[in-house]
């Protein structure tokens, strides 16, 4: 290989090509494993070409500090082979390991690094412990070291005899200027490139660069709606949003409600409990949820419920606060969330003690800070469980959480105390480790399916105990998934993966064995729960009780990365960054097959729906920022 004119430039080239090479190999592997079935060879070639360009541009920006080091380091140090080889070995090892992490992230979310990965980095204890329990880290670290050593050896061979020249002060300044100019130029090109090149979400993700995705997630963690998304005059948005949210809503005096309030109300948020696992929702062949299926005959089942997003914080803000999933951070992580309307506030105002039960540390994802400011008074978390309780990275196993809740309920009943409790489970989550004594181990190997089956087993045991002890006669229970199990689908917002089950077990026998097939959102659960609890109060909640509404005409609100959207029985409208709007259609709410509508074929009705979605999200953003979403 002929050496470039400057040995220092030669060294700079060896800093750039390893991330480009590794990124290309990773992209080829991802295309082979995860490409959509309908993707053509031409589309995959475009993915590879665009990805190569993105990797090269990103590498030039990321290596700018290293380029500066090459300009400043003395020639004597750069001529020594062993420091160069050691650095290249560590550098390339990190790049290979980084590629492995991207592979496993893509396997879980069908996406490059995004805001989910950024959120995980904030809580390294849980995340890195989870990684250690879920993956064979020594194996992949060993492969990374071997790959790094091989690349370092190639670098050593190629750079043998390299003699970087001494640079005068002026030459160093010119080299620093050139490195800065290169980084700025490449950064400007990255900024100008369109975010999407394909109508298929997965094809876009295949082409993207994972490191660039992290930077983008950090830069868009807090977004001003008016700057980045479609908007309209505020009075018009408020008026239109109120009309959209009230559409189909029954007047408070006419809405069905319970004749009396129960002494206890429990909301169980089941981790990653997607509808695709639930037999009663059309998947009996998996036989993973026999307890939920059995109990669904005893209560009110929602069959077309859509989660706010694919993170627990999105589920919490939707279920307990009836708030829309704004782009950027969930309200649990925002600064103006100290007086938010929540179920705990409402039940607390009606004389209930409020408690939150969680297997891990409630500070994760800012949950405890938000909950303690908004109505929850008691917290049971990881340090409160027995020292010998079975634990994973995310906390104690579900059985221990339900046992703690049961003990609190027994105490409340004995003391004549009204109780509102919220439980967040943890076991249906990687690494899917469950207690060895669980019968699930005998029939299902360690896997996501085992996590679902164990979560169902614990849920069923809890309900069976409530029934056996007579507590269900005066207890209202909501069982609901916090979000789906994994992201899949080619739409900008992959709505099929957002469908989750919800079951209300109600003392009022009118609701036994009832099924509601109306499309609805997590924001509708709080108003529905209040109606089933017999609480007739005008709250600021954005959702609506689904009781007594017709089967047709529902809607749901969704968020994915930095896109938000509104789903109806036949249309999905997606509002994205740079004020982009996309439209998808389907044959009906039972269908998971969405078709992208070309811009020239968008109908007036679909454009009206986009205005509805714009108004609702913009109004929610403005109400939050103005601290108008408050209780009381």
Scan for tokens 């290596």, then name that residue: 63
Q: Are residues 269 and 208 in the same domain?
A: no
Residue 117: its pLDDT value, please?
75
Going by pLDDT thresholds of 50, 70 and 90, the confidence category of residue 126 is low
403: its two tokens = 């046992």
Residue 261 reports pLDDT greater than 60: yes
Tell whether 440 is covered by a domain: yes
388: CB partners within 8 A, 6+ apart: none
Percent of the chain with pLDDT over 70: 96
Tell whether 585 is covered by a domain: no
Per-residue pLDDT reduced to its tens digit, 272-318:
999 999 999 987 766 899 999 999 999 999 999 999 999 999 999 99
Q: Are residues 211 and 289 in the same domain?
A: no
Residue 30 reports pLDDT greater than 70: yes
Q: Are residues 113 and 170 in the same domain?
A: yes
Per-residue pLDDT reduced to its tens digit, 264-284:
999 999 999 999 999 999 877
Per-residue pLDDT reduced to its tens digit, 535-548:
988 899 999 999 99
Q: Is the pTM of this model over 0.95?
A: no
Tell whether 53 is covered by a domain: yes
Going by pLDDT thresholds of 50, 70 and 90, the confidence category of residue 254 is low
Other CB atoms closer than 10 Å to residue 284's CB: what's the count? 13
Q: Are residues 336 and 478 in the same domain?
A: yes
Provide Rg for the chain, Cα atoms.
27
Q: Are residues 277 and 201 in the same domain?
A: no
Residue 23: its pLDDT value, please?
95
Q: Edge to edge, what strands does the sheet with 571-576 contain?
A: 555-560, 563-568, 571-576, 580-585, 595-596
Give the residue-averaged pLDDT of 568-585: 95
Q: Are residues 42 and 164 in the same domain?
A: yes
Q: Are residues 290 and 207 in the same domain?
A: no
Residue 123: its pLDDT value, please?
66
Going by pLDDT thresholds of 50, 70 and 90, the confidence category of residue 2 is very low
Domain boundary among 184, 219, 254: 219
Q: Are residues 383 and 516 in the same domain?
A: yes
Domain boundary among 219, 240, 255: 219
Give the residue-averaged pLDDT of 568-575: 97
Backbone angles phi, psi at 361, to 5 degrees: -95, 125
Tell whether 594 is covered by a domain: no
Tell whether 612 is covered by a domain: no
Tell whether 15 is covered by a domain: yes
Structural element, H or E, at residue 504: strand 499-505
Rounded CA-CA distance 596/578 in Å is 19
Q: Are residues 91 and 180 in the same domain?
A: yes
Residue 4: its pLDDT value, please?
45
Q: How many helices (H) and strands (E) does the chain have?
A: 22, 16
The domain in which residue 140 lies consists of 7-219
Domain count, the chain: 2
Per-residue pLDDT reduced to its tens digit, 147-185:
999 998 998 888 877 777 787 888 888 888 988 999 999
DSSP string, 236-293: HHHHHHHHHHHTTPPPTTTS---SS--SEEEEEEETT--GGG-GGGT-TTT---HHHH
Residue 122 reports pLDDT greater than 70: no
Residue 90: its pLDDT value, please?
95
Tell whether 295 is covered by a domain: yes
Per-residue pLDDT reduced to its tens digit, 327-378:
988 999 999 999 999 999 999 999 999 999 999 999 888 899 999 999 999 9
Tell whether 96 is covered by a domain: yes
Say which CATH number the domain at 276 has. Answer: 3.40.720.10
Q: Are residues 276 and 180 in the same domain?
A: no
Domain boundary among 521, 544, 567: 544
Q: Are residues 293 and 412 in the same domain?
A: yes
591: its two tokens = 């269908």
Going by pLDDT thresholds of 50, 70 and 90, the confidence category of residue 527 is very high
Rounded CA-CA distance 434/399 in Å is 10
């Amino acid at each position: 290989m002929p050496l470039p004119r400057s040995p220092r430039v030669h060294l700079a080239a060896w800093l750039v090509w390893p991330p480009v090479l590794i990124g290309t190999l990773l992209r080829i592997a991802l295309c082979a494993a995860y490409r959509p079935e309908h993707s053509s060879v031409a589309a995959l070639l475009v993915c590879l070409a665009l990805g190569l360009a993105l990797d090269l541009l990103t590498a030039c920006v990321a290596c700018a500090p290293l380029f500066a080091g090459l300009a400043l380091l003395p020639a004597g140090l750069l001529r020594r082979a062993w420091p160069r080889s050691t650095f290249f070995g560590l550098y390339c090892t990190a790049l290979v390991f980084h590629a492995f992490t991207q592979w496993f992230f893509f396997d879980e979310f069908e996406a490059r690094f995004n805001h989910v990965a950024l959120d995980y980095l904030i809580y390294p204890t849980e995340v890195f412990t989870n990684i250690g329990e879920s993956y064979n880290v020594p194996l992949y670290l060993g492969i990374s070291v071997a790959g790094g050593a091989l690349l370092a050896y190639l670098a050593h061979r190629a750079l043998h005899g390299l003699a970087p020249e001494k640079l005068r002060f002026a030459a160093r300044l010119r080299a620093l200027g050139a490195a800065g100019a290169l980084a700025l130029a490449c950064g400007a090109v990255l900024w100008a490139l369109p975010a999407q090149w394909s109508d298929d979400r997965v094809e876009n993700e295949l082409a993207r660069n994972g490191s660039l995705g992290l930077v983008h997630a950090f830069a868009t963690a807090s977004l001003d709606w008016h700057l980045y998304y479609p908007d309209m005059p505020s009075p018009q948005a408020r008026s239109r949003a109120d009309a959209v949210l009230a559409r189909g809503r029954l007047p408070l005096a006419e809405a069905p409600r319970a004749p009396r309030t129960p002494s206890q109300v429990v909301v169980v948020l089941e981790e990653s409990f997607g509808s695709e696992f639930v037999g009663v929702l059309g998947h009996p062949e998996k036989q993973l949820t026999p307890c939920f299926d059995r109990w669904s005959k005893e209560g009110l089942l929602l069959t077309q419920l859509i989660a706010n997003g694919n993170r627990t914080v999105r589920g919490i803000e939707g279920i307990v606060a009836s708030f829309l999933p704004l782009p950027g951070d969930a309200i649990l992580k925002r600064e103006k969330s100290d007086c938010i309307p929540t179920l705990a506030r409402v039940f607390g105002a009606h004389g209930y003690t409020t408690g939150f039960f969680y297997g891990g540390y409630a500070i994760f994802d800012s949950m405890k800070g938000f909950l303690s400011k908004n109505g929850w008074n008691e917290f049971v978390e990881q340090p409160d469980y027995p020292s010998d309780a079975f634990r994973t990275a995310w906390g104690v196993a579900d059985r221990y959480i339900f046992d703690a809740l049961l003990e609190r309920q027994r105490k409340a009943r004995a003391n004549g105390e009204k109780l509102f409790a919220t439980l967040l489970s943890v076991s249906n989550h990687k690494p899917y480790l469950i207690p060895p004594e669980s019968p699930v181990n005998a029939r299902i190997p360690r896997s996501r399916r085992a996590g679902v089956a164990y979560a169902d087993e614990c849920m069923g045991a809890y309900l069976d105990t409530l029934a056996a002890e007579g507590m269900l006669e005066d207890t209202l229970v909501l069982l609901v998934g916090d979000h789906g199990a994994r992201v899949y689908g080619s739409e900008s917002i992959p709505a099929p993966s957002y469908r989750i089950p919800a079951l209300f077990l109600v003392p009022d026998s009118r609701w036994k064995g009832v099924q509601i097939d109306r499309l609805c959102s997590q924001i509708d659960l709080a108003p529905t729960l209040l109606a089933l609890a017999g609480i007739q109060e005008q709250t600021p909640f954005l959702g609506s009780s689904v009781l007594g509404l017709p089967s047709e005409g529902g809607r749901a609100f969704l968020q994915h990365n930095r896109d938000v959207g509104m789903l109806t029985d036949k249309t999905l409208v997606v509002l994205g960054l740079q004020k982009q709007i996309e439209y998808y259609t389907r044959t009906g709410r039972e269908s998971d097959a969405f078709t992208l509508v070309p811009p020239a074929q968008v109908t007036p009705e679909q454009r009206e729906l986009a205005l509805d979605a714009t108004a609702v999200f913009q109004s929610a953003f403005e109400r939050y920022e103005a601290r108008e979403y408050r209780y009381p």
